[in-house]
Amino acid sequence: MLARQQWRSLAVLSQSVPGHDPTSIFAPAGTPAHSIFGLSMLVLGIAAAIFLVVAGLLLYVLVRYRYRATGSEPAQEPAQIYGSNQIELSWTVIPVLIVVILFLAAARVIFSTELARKPAAALDVTVIGHQFWWEYRYPKLGIVTANELHIPVSDPLYPTPTYLTMSSADTDHSFWVPRLAGKTDLIPNKINTMWIDPEAAGVYLGQCAQYCGAQHAKMLIRVYADSPQQFAAWVAQQQKPAAEDSGASEGEAAFQHNACISCHTIAGTIATGTVGPDLTHVASRDTIASGSVPNTAANMRAWVDNPADFKAGALMPEMHLNDHDLDAVTAYLMTLK
Amino acid sequence: MRNTTAVPESRRRWLDVVHEWVKTVDHKKIGIMYICYALIFLLVAGFEALLMRIQLAIPNNTFVSPQVFNRLFTMHGTTMVFFVGMPILFGFGNYLIPLMIGARDMAFPRLNAFGFWISAFGGLLLYFSYLGGDGLYGAGSAPDVGWFAYAPLTSPAFSVGHSTDYWTLALLLSGIGSVATALNMVTTTICMRCPGMKLNRMPLLVWLYLVTSLMVFIAIGPLTAAQIMLMLDRYAGAHFFDTQAGGSAVLWMHFFWIFGHPEVYILVLPAFAFANEIIPVFSRKAIFGYPAMVAATIGIGFISLSVWAHHMFTVGLGAWANTFFTLATMVIAVPTGIKIFNWLATLWGGKIHFTVPMMFSVGFLFQFLIAGLTGIMLSVAPFDWQLGNSYFVVAHFHYVLVGAILMMIFAAFYYWSPKMTGRMLSEKLGKWHFWLFVIGFHLTFDFMHVPGLLGMPRRIYTYEADRGWMIWNLIVSSGAIFQAIGALVFVYNLVWSYFKGPIAGPDPWDAWTLEWSTPSPPPAYNFAVIPSVGSRRPLWDLKHPEDPDSNYEM
Amino acid sequence: MGGIAVLPHNPNEPWNLPSRGIVGMVCLIIAEAAIFIIFVVAYVFYLGKSLAGPTPRDVLELPIFTTICLLSSSFTVMGAVSALHKNQRNACSMWLALTVLLGFIFLAGTAHEWYNLIYRDGLTIRTNLFGTAFYSLVGLHATHVVLGLCLLSLALLFSLRGQMTSKHTERLEVLSIYWHFVDAVWVVVFLVVYVFGR
């Protein structure tokens, strides 16, 4: 058990892709990211070509027409050319053509991404942004969780994409997992949708991309693309109410007699608060504090004691528990697999 | 003769000088005050940037707290746009426009002074927030909502205390000053040109400032309106951006960017204006395609009013809106490209002198080209879905603001400060300034594109070690140091040359527009006799009476 | 060293440029129009979106009388300018006084309307989105009316004291352009808020 925990805390800070760029837009792993990648190659190519031509000309001009002092008489002014309508026309028409090409390519990807037909087998997840954590609800599966999004891998032959319906409970946020798709904002009083379809199993990293307050930097995203079996197992586990462990009853009591229940939900108990993340299966997550802290007993205890030690400005206050209660609550939380 | 008050001679003279500057309505003095004021804020905001870059050099750094960092990027952005960019560009415009059109002063000298002092007060008010405000975390401090202050982060629920109000009020005042100055510039340009200076004989600088000022009228209004609405929300219980009452966060974004996008063109057009004056002189040729340049400028002015939602591609406006704004944004590249080509054609066939102003202008040409190209990349909405709100965007707009605009501002300093002070700036120090700054600029802003491509969002006070961003951030931060040194060399140059620089005379560059026909510095009345002109380059005609411009102008 | 002799352009050709005051005022109007347009956009955007509370149809009545007064004041101020141009100082004072009076009637009418809205219908700026957008838009306009009336009253004062003559016509014309703008904004507000928006 200890070995597994050690492995987990290391694995948390590693990535499941070879190389060191887990959030590179040039390593697409899903259809939206692939179509953007393809488009970006066209755009970069055109931009590079324009740069080489214009910068090349500029360089040439600067070298060729550099003033060279010859003799002592004052230099003659060069021939004064005031303009040429034909030349102006030519360098208007060519850019317009380039714009048309780029625009058509862009429009195609805009429409294919935003108006993609939703397959019947798509998974629906509701995402609600909070200051500084992510709430995930699976309406058809009866699951509520936080910060670590489990979704099935999507096979191109039988696509099972995940459709995210998104809004915010407070300020603006933005969901960005570069290897899967472009970002979409979470805006209060507005509903946005996007879809992702990871093609390979693994963890995909991202983070909030719209400044939302003090701990915007630590509102990290972890998307777990599970194989169909793994996903089914995860769903089954999450659908159960909270694990009952008689050894943790003291912690459970401490949890329920303190202010914890006013913010947190633990399914099957009297804790039904919705201000903070759902903790029913908190021990099954790799991280806490929205992906920024590995989920170990020591970290959990430190977090409950004073969240500001990890995330100054997080909305969870210091809980002012004595050491005994702190130990008990931590032990209880760690049983909630 | 009894000396009753016994005030020492030197102190009385010093007080007189201060008094003279405080009550002046002379466009030249007001222009210089704008420029000096902006330079001070440039150093302050630059220092804020330096602190941020130290914090970001390594992951999980603790050089500054998250709260302090969030204030730093808010203040850095707000200061640079409103209290460096706008004043410095208005300062040069104020100084040059009457001289270039053969007038004695601006149309409304007292309004001119009012515009300066209210803007100056706005800047001081913003910085007073460090002392007097109350931040998001009750600590008492500067605004920390980002320079575009998105709702509902700015609502009383999420921004307690007064720090946001300092942002709002400081900018409101600065906006009034901007409108006043723009009004003055338009009126001066239309109503006070010297005889013979028809609109198509004005220096291009005057044309560009005319278009800029018209854009100010249309762009500042939405910002002012949004700020009034924000204040009503925060203090009168209004619900403009109150999402709990059915209000819309997106509406703030629309209003802000309807201001914000034209604003960046308001900042860049004066840089183009400087290029239009400086590049011809050091190529020894007239600008190529004057009418096309005017048309392109007007085109840019109009189109820039219709592209604002390219800042909102990720907000969920819908496929049709995203498509429209992609198209509009790409279209603006056409007149902008035309300008670059015209500058190229001006250089072509010329005799290029690489004086310090010209060196900065060359830097501008290359860097603006790159900035424009990254802009075109971002205009492609799907590409922006990945790169929006990332360090790629930060790199792009700094490439424009520093690589293009600041570069031309430096060029303008080296070119026109001999006229303003009567003394040349040191060429040697200028070259040190140029190379230090350019090296630093490229170290910082070229490499800054990479973290964006690797998924690094903006406005984060730190980042995870496992993202692969550290090496790039380290390089970016190292460039900041070179730029800081370059800026200090520049300041030293300004001070040293004021006292010890070689005397400039009226026309040190052998240039062709009317400001070079006055002494350096010009007397208060500018021209002893109001000139009258017969072409776009009156001094060229005088120096080349056998071949005046008026024979050729299209 | 100092000024240089420049070829005179053509001494016989006149060189007439527009009046500074008028150009300046037009610029100010463009800037102010931009502010008003945004408030109108916000008003239109929020039509029908209030979650609760009174709606325009419930509580707004067409302010026909005050509108006629305000729009007529544009004609009276034109009368003042034309009288001053002909150096008819007494007539000018009379027209100015009429303009100020009509403006005051408009303001009084607005105040009366707001009194009813607040105390009878319970609509304030904080009630709902309609209240927010209505009071800010109409209030912004009313502020401009107040400013205009202050300036017009000053002009009236100068006129009554005999200090205004025909050589001040252009200045009065600049002020009248501002007043026409205020009236034009009211036409838009009237149509958007009281006609199409109800």
Provide, as residue numbers in chain A, all residues whose Cβ is less than 8 Å from the Cβ of B547. Answer: 80
Give the chain B residue nearest A97 (alpha carbons).
B334
Question: Taking a C-beta distance cutoff of 8 angstroms, is the pair B123, B170 a contact?
Answer: yes
Q: What's the pLDDT at B28?
A: 97
Contact B528/C at CB under 8 A:
yes
Q: What's the pLDDT at A76?
A: 86
Report how far residue B518's alpha carbon sits from residue A305's, in angstroms, rounded to the nearest whole number: 73
Q: What's the pLDDT at C151?
A: 97
Residues 350-379 of B with CB under 8 A from A: 350-354, 362, 365-366, 369-370, 373-374, 376-377
Q: C6–B538: do the CB atoms touch at under 8 Å?
A: yes
Residues whose CB falls within 8 Å of the CB of residue B117, separated by 6 or more in sequence, listed in order? B177
Terminal-to-terminal C-alpha distance of chain B: 69
Nearest to B386 among A36, A51, A92 (CB): A36
Q: Please say if the pLDDT value at position C66 is more than 90.
A: yes
Q: Please say if the pLDDT value at position B31 is more than 90.
A: yes
Q: A183–B385: do the CB atoms touch at under 8 Å?
A: yes
Q: What's the pLDDT at A7?
A: 40
Could you tell me the pLDDT band of residue A3, with boundaries at 50, 70 and 90?
very low
Nearest to C31 among B187, B195, B217 (CB): B217
What ipTM describes this predicted complex?
0.94
Could you tell me which of B492, B503, B352 has the C-alpha nearest to residue B428?
B492
User: How many CB contacts within 8 angstroms connect chain B with chain C?
Assistant: 144
Tallying the residues shown for chain C, one arrives at 198
Alpha helical stretches, state H, C60-168: 64-85, 89-115, 129-160
Instruction: Dig out the tokens for C114 from the structure.
Output: 């707001």
Provide, as residue numbers in chain B, all residues whose Cβ is less than 8 Å from the Cβ of A66. Answer: 351-352, 354
pLDDT in tens, B324-335: 999 999 999 999
Contact B247/A at CB under 8 A:
yes
Instruction: Dig out the tokens for B86 from the structure.
Output: 């706008």
Q: What's the pLDDT at B131?
A: 81
Residue A140 burial (CB count, 10 A): 8
Host H or E run for residue A294: strand A293-294
Q: What's the pLDDT at C24?
A: 97
Q: What's the pLDDT at B11?
A: 67
Could you tell me the pLDDT band of residue A1, with boundaries at 50, 70 and 90?
very low
pLDDT in tens, C72-93: 999 999 999 999 999 999 999 9
Question: Taking a C-beta distance cutoff of 8 angstroms, is the pair B459, B77 a contact?
Answer: no
Host H or E run for residue B358: helix B356-379
Residues whose CB falls within 8 Å of the CB of residue B109, separated by 6 or more in sequence, listed in order? B25, B26, B27
pTM, whole model, 2 decimals? 0.94
Q: Please say if the pLDDT value at position B509 is more than 50.
A: yes
Report how far residue B253's alpha carbon sits from residue A87's, in angstroms, rounded to the nearest whole number: 40
Report how far residue A257's alpha carbon sits from residue A251's, in angstroms, rounded to the nearest whole number: 10
Residues 156-215 of B with CB under 8 A from C: 179, 182-184, 186-187, 190-193, 195-196, 213-214
Contact B549/A at CB under 8 A:
yes
Mean pLDDT of A8-33: 70
Alpha helical stretches, state H, A73-201: 85-114
Nearest to B327 among A103, A114, A215 (CB): A103
Q: What's the pLDDT at B425?
A: 97
Q: How far is A251 from chain B (nearest CA, A)?
A: 32
Contact B249/C at CB under 8 A:
no
Mean pLDDT of B204-231: 97
Contact C7/B at CB under 8 A:
yes
Instruction: Dig out the tokens for B496 from the structure.
Output: 């040293």
Q: Please say if the pLDDT value at position C7 is more than 60.
A: no
pLDDT in tens, C131-173: 999 999 999 999 999 999 999 999 999 999 999 999 999 999 9
Contact B235/C at CB under 8 A:
no
Instruction: Dig out the tokens for B73 from the structure.
Output: 């990027």
Q: B377–A184: do the CB atoms touch at under 8 Å?
A: no
Question: Taking a C-beta distance cutoff of 8 angstroms, is the pair B308, B332 a contact?
Answer: no
Per-residue CA distances from B415 to A67, A260, B92, B421 (Å): 18, 67, 11, 11
Could you tell me the pLDDT band of residue B138, with boundaries at 50, 70 and 90?
very low
Q: B289–A88: do the CB atoms touch at under 8 Å?
A: yes
Contact C55/B at CB under 8 A:
no
Could you tell me the pLDDT band of residue A6, with boundaries at 50, 70 and 90?
very low
Could you tell me the pLDDT band of residue C180, with boundaries at 50, 70 and 90?
very high
Q: B238–C37: do the CB atoms touch at under 8 Å?
A: no
Q: Please say if the pLDDT value at position B512 is more than 90.
A: yes
pLDDT in tens, B433-490: 999 999 999 999 999 999 999 999 999 999 999 999 999 999 999 999 999 999 999 9
Helix axes B407-421, B249-283, angle to 10 degrees: 60
- Quote the CATH superfamily of domain B27-551: Cytochrome c oxidase-like, subunit I domain (1.20.210.10)
Q: B468–A20: do the CB atoms touch at under 8 Å?
A: yes
Instruction: Dig out the tokens for B413 from the structure.
Output: 């300093």
Report how far residue A83's alpha carbon sits from residue C31's, in angstroms, rounded to the nearest whole number: 36
Q: C30–B217: do the CB atoms touch at under 8 Å?
A: yes
Report how far residue B355's alpha carbon sits from residue B415's, in angstroms, rounded to the nearest whole number: 9
Q: What's the pLDDT at B135?
A: 45
Mean pLDDT of A138-149: 96
Please tell me which chains touch A, using 3 or more CB pairs under 8 Å as the contact test. B
Is the domain spanning C20-52+63-196 CATH 1.20.120.80? The answer is yes
Report how far residue A173's alpha carbon sits from residue A191's, in angstroms, rounded to the nearest whole number: 12
Host H or E run for residue B472: helix B470-500
Q: Please say if the pLDDT value at position A246 is more than 90.
A: no
Could you tell me the pLDDT band of residue A17, with boundaries at 50, 70 and 90?
very low
Provide, as residue numbers in chain B, all residues whose Cβ is less than 8 Å from the Cβ of C34. Answer: 217-222, 225
Mean model confidence pLDDT for chain B = 94
Report how far residue A165's alpha carbon sits from residue B316's, in angstroms, rounded to the nearest whole number: 12
Give the chain A residue nearest B312 (alpha carbons).
A185
Contact B253/C at CB under 8 A:
no
Q: How far is B527 from chain C (nearest CA, A)?
A: 6
Report how far residue B187's alpha carbon sits from residue B476's, in angstroms, rounded to the nearest whole number: 44
Q: Where are the domains of chain B?
A: 27-551
Mutate to test the interface with A, among B386, B389, B467, B550 (most CBs of A within 10 A): B386
Report how far residue B204's alpha carbon sits from residue B189's, in angstroms, rounded to the nearest whole number: 12
Question: Taking a C-beta distance cutoff of 8 angstroms, is the pair B454, B43 a contact?
Answer: no
Q: C17–B193: do the CB atoms touch at under 8 Å?
A: yes
Nearest to C8 among B228, B255, B532 (CB): B532
Give the chain C residue nearest B221 (alpha carbons).
C35
Mean pLDDT of A322-334: 95
Q: How far is B152 from chain A (nearest CA, A)?
A: 5
Question: Taking a C-beta distance cutoff of 8 angstroms, is the pair B290, A82 a contact?
Answer: yes
Give the chain A residue nearest B355 (alpha carbons).
A67
Terminal-to-terminal C-alpha distance of chain C: 71
Q: What's the pLDDT at C1?
A: 39
Instruction: Dig out the tokens for B24 from the structure.
Output: 């002046």
Q: What's the pLDDT at B282?
A: 97
Q: Please say if the pLDDT value at position B139 is more than 70.
A: no
Residues whose CB falls within 8 Å of the CB of residue A87, separated by 6 or more in sequence, listed in order? B289, B345
Mean pLDDT of B55-76: 96
Out of A74-78, A113-117, A257-261, B232-236, least confident range:
A74-78
Please report, rounded to a whole number, the percentage of residues in chain A having pLDDT higher than 70. 93
Question: Taking a C-beta distance cutoff of 8 angstroms, is the pair A103, B327 a contact?
Answer: yes
Q: What's the pLDDT at B162?
A: 87
Q: A188–B369: do the CB atoms touch at under 8 Å?
A: no
